[in-house]
Every structure is written in C-alpha cells, then in structure tokens.
Chain A
Amino acid sequence: MLKWMDRLTGLIGSALLFLLMIITFIDVCGRNLFNHPLTGASEITEILLACIIFLMLPGVAMKQLHIVIDLIDIVSTRAMRIAEEIFSAVASCSMFGLIGWQLWALGDKAVGYGDATPSLQLPLAPVFYFIAVLSFVNAIVFLIALPRAVGTPAAASKSDSPETVAAPEKLHLPV
C-alpha cells in the first residue's frame, strides 16, 4: 500500500514537473515567436509547483531524504539515538500536521471568498485542500518511517569511525 502510493505520487509529481518545463517553454516561445504568450502560464506554474512539492514530500520523508546534520554523536548509546529519532519524528509529524490543518482551513476560507486565479479563474480552494491532505499524509509518514529510521545503521551507533557519517541515502542534497 505504502509502496504503491509512493510510486503513484512519484509518477504524478514527475509528470507535473515535466509539464512545468513544457509550459515555460511554450510561454516563452509563444511570446517571442508568435506574439502570443500562454494565457495564465504563471498561475498554472504556481499551482503546479505547490502540487509537485506536496506530492513529493511524503516520499522524501519515507526515504529520509530531508537534510539532517549528523555532525558528531553527542550521544553514543543506542537508546539515546532511538530517543532522538522518536523526538525528531514527533516534531516533524506535528509541524506538518499543523500545516495541513491550517491549509485545510485556508481552503475553507478560499471557498468563502470564492478565491480564483486572475486570468483562468481556476478556483484555488481545491488546490489548498489537495496540499492539505498531502501535508497530513506527510505528517503520518514521519511516524511510519520511524521504525525504519531507528533500525538503520546510522541509528545503530556505529559512530566511533567517522566514515559512517555518510550514509549514501542521506546524501540526496539538492544544491
């Protein structure tokens, strides 16, 4: 179920990113070559970006790709390490849970005001509800990933040799 969901969100997120690229390309070419920019390109871009980010966040949490500083092991016992992981998962879960809850409220407000994008008049509320739900999913994934996090070699306090600092899967650094 989890794997299946991860594949699905990954697939949609990737497709939307490709679409984002194509839209920018069409907009620029349209403006410069045919004197006709793509109507609403910037508002579609904004919606796509939000959707891509929130579609990918649960997978990022599951695979533990968020940037964590593994500087030194202040604590070296396995128990302390597990406590750290639990604390970290609960903190992450609360933050994204809170964000999801308030994004949902933002969706309710957008319904009330009838908020829509300027040129295409796309309603904004569904976007807010969509990313709110994904934010909840993301929050839960932090807890689901917890056993895995506690079980990884990084957590198993092999900390005396500096070489274990670089668990390759944690090196998914974006810049």
Chain B
Amino acid sequence: EAVTLRYSSWLPLQHHMNEKAMYPWFAEIEEVTAGRVKVEVLPKVVGTPQSQFDVVRDGLADISFIVAGYTPGRFPLAEMGELSFIGSDPRVFAPAFNRIYRKHMEPLNEFDGVKLLTIFSNAPGNVFTTTKAVRSVADMKGLKLRSTGPYTTDLLNRVGAIPILKSSTEAFEMLSTGAIDGSLGQRETIANFKMTELMGHGTLIPGGLFSAALGVIVNPDAWERIAPEDRAAIETISHEKLAALGGATYYEADRQAEAAMRVVETLKLETADPDFVAELRQAVAPLEAAWAERAKAKGLADPLAVLEELRSEVAAQEAQAK
C-alpha cells in the first residue's frame, strides 16, 4: 500500500528551495516508486526552524530539512560546509560537498536518529554594507554587521567587526535607519529579505566567505515503512542528485539576485581583490583549526585533509567549468 510522508518546511512554501528543488524531488519520488510513496506538504512548519531535527527524529513530521548552524555543536562534521572559501559555484560545490561528506563523514553517523537523504552547502556568502565599502579587513573593523550563524559570529569577531545577532526582519529595520552597518549574506538571501535597496556596497568574496549546510532528513520509522526496492529507488534520486538540484536552485536564485542588484544604481558590487582574500584566509585559519578540533572529537581522523580534498576538488571542477 502507499506510504505518505508528511513534509514540514520552515521556509515559506513558495520559497525557491521548495518550488525548484523539494517539490520536483517529491514528484520524482512518486514517479520512481510508481506512486507507492507520496509526500504531503503540511500548511505550516511543525515546531520551529531550530527544532526540525528533533521534529523528524521523534516522528512529529516525516521529512524536513535542517541547517547545521541552527543547532551549534550538534553536527560538527556537517559544519565543514559552512566554512570559508569552499567554492563560488553552488552547482559545483553543493554536490562535491555531498560526495566528500558521504565518503569521509557519513560513516561517523552524526545524524544518528534520522535517515539523511542529502546534505549540501547552499550558496557563497558575501559582505554587504550600507555606506562604507569593504575592501580590506581593516575596513571591517568596528562595523556592525548582521551575523547569520555561530561561524559568521566567530568570523566577525576575528576581524574586529561587531556581530549583530538579530532575525532578518529586525535586521531589516535596523539597516533601513543605519542602526547597523550591513549584513553578511548570500546574494540570494539579501534579495529574499528585500535588503537590496538598503545596501550601498556589496563585496563579493571569491570562493565564498561562508555558506549554510542544509540536510534533508527522514524519520527512520517512516523510512522503514517504505519497501526496500522503493527505498533504493529514492536513494538513487537523493544524495548527490538532490544536492545538485539544491545547488542549482541556489545558483539560479543567486544569479537572479545579482542581476537585480546590478540594476540598482545606489548599490555598487565589487569583487574582493587577492590581497583582501589573502587577509581573510589568514583571519579564518584559526577558526578552521578550531573546527578541525571539534571534528576530530567526533571521530574524523584528519579533518583539515578532508577540507583540503573538498577545496581542491571544487577548484578543479570550477576551473574546468570555465
């Protein structure tokens, strides 16, 4: 008989991640299982964005996606996807991160309690400011910038900026009146929160200053209810394929956001020069070391080597794509 999985989404139901990645993937699930597995989209999120892992583990909903940074410390391995300078093109680094994660980290079972169907990092993060152009680490000193998660908070502290931990709507209010000086964010996120018009400068960081690691998870009992051959069929369209789909929607959203930004005359976009990038690399090195410690504690033998493997794989493919 048919199994129906109930999907809880903390993003708005019309968000591009839902419309361009999740819903098409749900349709594909139904197709590859010949209708034996269906996904029902719930009208509202079950619980809160931060509680999605608990919600799925305990079966309050069957399927959802989580952001590693929302529960700091729980998923140290997945946090690799949130680090700096992973890559510039989500179409490349999203599936690449998935491959590396599965190869080295999935066996360590940090998502114990749920079935992980994919994990990927979404889009490269940049620096957006209202008035002051950011061209060096010195420029960031003393700026009040909205932080998006624990990693970016550490990063901002590291470079002498002042991390502001407020929700996007609160940040919008504070930006619109100059109470804060800017926000870290992906192009897509800045556009989504309608902050484009508020910004005077955007410094795009080649390789991305940070990212968000998203995981799609399923309740294990619900997963067991699905026939083995259907589970296998779903797995073939998940993992790297779903990561690539997610990466592609974020790439497209980022591209559209940038096009919209270029039209706004008051917003100047520039790309960080190699000196600035070098400064930033130096600044984040201790953060990477700290991450490596946490990952080691979780059982990963040589985290920095894994990170290097990811970076070189992404770099090679991005070069090839050009």
Contact = CB atoms under 8 A, between A and B. Distances in A.
- Chains A and B in contact, CB within 8 Å: yes
Interface of A: 31-32, 35-37, 42, 109, 113-119
B165 A42 contact: yes
Contacts of B74: 113-115
B71 A115 contact: yes
Nearest to A106: B54
Of A32, A113, A116, A118, the most chain B CB neighbours within 10 A belong to A118
Contact of B179 (A32, A42, A117, A118): A32
Contacts of B166: 42
A19 B36 CA distance: 56
Given A31-B144, A113-B71, 8 more contacts: A31-B164, A36-B162, A37-B162, A42-B165, A113-B74, A115-B74, A118-B72, A118-B165
Contacts of A113: 71, 73-74
A116 B72 CA distance: 7
Contacts of A36: 162
B169 to A, nearest CB: 14
29 contacts: A31-B162, A31-B164, A31-B179, A32-B179, A35-B142, A35-B144, A35-B162, A36-B162, A37-B162, A37-B164, A42-B165, A42-B166, A109-B54, A113-B71, A113-B73, A113-B74, A115-B71, A115-B73, A115-B74, A116-B72, A116-B73, A117-B72, A118-B72, A118-B150, A118-B153, A118-B165, A119-B150, A119-B153, A119-B165
Interface in B131-156: 142, 144, 149-150, 153
A115 B54 CA distance: 12
Nearest to B75: A113
Contacts of B150: 118-119
A109 to B, nearest CB: 8
B171 to A, nearest CB: 13
A113 B164 CA distance: 26
Interface of B: 54, 71-74, 142, 144, 149-150, 153, 162, 164-166, 179
B115 to A, nearest CB: 18
A37 B74 CA distance: 27
Nearest to B179: A32
A32 B179 CA distance: 7
Contacts of A42: 165-166
B154 to A, nearest CB: 9
Contacts of B54: 109
**Chain A CB within 10 Å, residue with most, of B72, B142, B153:** B72
Contacts of B71: 113, 115
B34 to A, nearest CB: 38
Contacts of A31: 144, 162, 164, 179
The 10 closest A-B pairs by CB, nearest first: A118-B150, A118-B72, A113-B74, A114-B73, A116-B73, A42-B165, A119-B153, A35-B162, A35-B142, A115-B73
A29 to B, nearest CB: 13
Nearest to B151: A118
A46 to B, nearest CB: 11
Nearest to B110: A113
A119 B162 CA distance: 13
Contacts of B73: 113-116
A42 B74 CA distance: 20
Nearest to A114: B73
Contacts of B72: 116-118
Nearest to A105: B58
A32 B149 CA distance: 22
B251 to A, nearest CB: 28
A118 B162 CA distance: 16
A42 B71 CA distance: 15
A113 B114 CA distance: 14
A117 B72 CA distance: 7
A156 B54 CA distance: 46
A37 B54 CA distance: 31
A5 B179 CA distance: 44
Contacts of A32: 179
Contacts of A119: 150, 153, 165
Nearest to A113: B74
A74 to B, nearest CB: 34
